[in-house]
Structure 1
Amino acid sequence: MYPPKSNAYESQYPTPTPPPSYGQPTTTGFPVSSATNNTSSYYSSDNSQQYGSALQIESKPRVPWSTGLCDCASDWKLCCITCWCPCITFGRIAEIVDKGSSSCGVNGALYTLIACVTACACCYSCFYRSKMRQQYLLHERPCCDCLVHCCCEPCALCQEYRELESRGFDMIIGWHGNVEQRNRGVIMAPSVDSGMSR
């Protein structure tokens, strides 16, 4: 019916290409997967650098405890106080670990309340052991913090108390007392008399 199109007509009026469908990949003559792989490899290398730096921050070297879990004989006074009244030992530890944001009395009273109501104050004190280990990068030894406190609460408290003492804290005066003591320990410049002297 219609005469076939000549080559001159096709060169003058080329056949329009259909618009690309966004749901399906288009055939362009270029390998799409290679571009995708290059992009993904670019982002993956960037992500690996970010994750690598995060892993370096998290993988700081851990240090051992200054004393063992069962080295209570070195300080028998602390051992007796912790066995008869663990709320005092825990309150002092918690005040130092919290850096003075909570007082020894409040922490000790809360420990006693939890012990009286649930008879399981170790569930509360184990969180402070974990917090202390994160602050000073201590090993999780001899087992997980919750198990250490559940199985041997007095020994765990004594170990934490001794650890803070070995790091230079005077546990009796609390956090604010230690801060004041360290501020007074700073060497001041000698004072000079303002009056004239011959």
Structure 2
Amino acid sequence: HSHMLTLVRIFAIEIIVMVFIGTLEIRAAVATLAITALFAASPARAQSQAAAQASPASALQSATVAGASASPTAKKKTLRQEVKALVAKYEPERLKRDLEFKKASALFPGFCHHWEQDLHERETNNLSKLKFNLKDGFETATYTAYGKVAACESHQSKDGYSIGKLTYEEFIYYLVGKSEDEARHASPKAISDTRTTEIFRWDNGKWFY
């Protein structure tokens, strides 16, 4: 009976040991797969972790080397730039320019519309001052006309100043007729087409050319 109990105990211990060994093998396999994946993704990181498992001292040394490899000067420089940009963003003068831009950008479309009206008046003035020349028996004249404002944009410069930009077409037309009166009523012929861009700045509460 005692002998039977001894055999049962030995058998039970063997099972426990086998299960323990099996668990260790599974863990070892998982660990191997993990290390392999780390090596594939990042050799330097995998080597560092492998070194950490092998020896705490070597892991500490690897961490020190890794920290040294990342340039402290570069980190300090980047941090300094970020702080400088943040300070510049919230300094009183920059905040003032940001507020100016909100007002300026809201008023710029109206400025563009007014500019378009000015261009129309300029075209009307050009037509009223036509100068005719006799050429091959015909009266001829040219004048400048303007299209509608095609683009009206405002933005801030790097320093925060308000900048406005508008674009329109500028045409030169040619008139011809047997007399000045006939030429004035003739259909104008476009002989050139220029895309013009005007740049403006906001100063003292107004848009300036």
Same fold (TM over 0.5): no
Q: TM-score, normalised by structure 1?
A: 0.28
Q: TM-score, normalised by structure 2?
A: 0.27
Q: Highest CA radius of gyration, 1 or 2?
A: 2
The structure where strand makes up a greater share of residues is 2
Q: More relative contact order in 1 or in 2 (CA 8 Å, sep 6+)?
A: 1
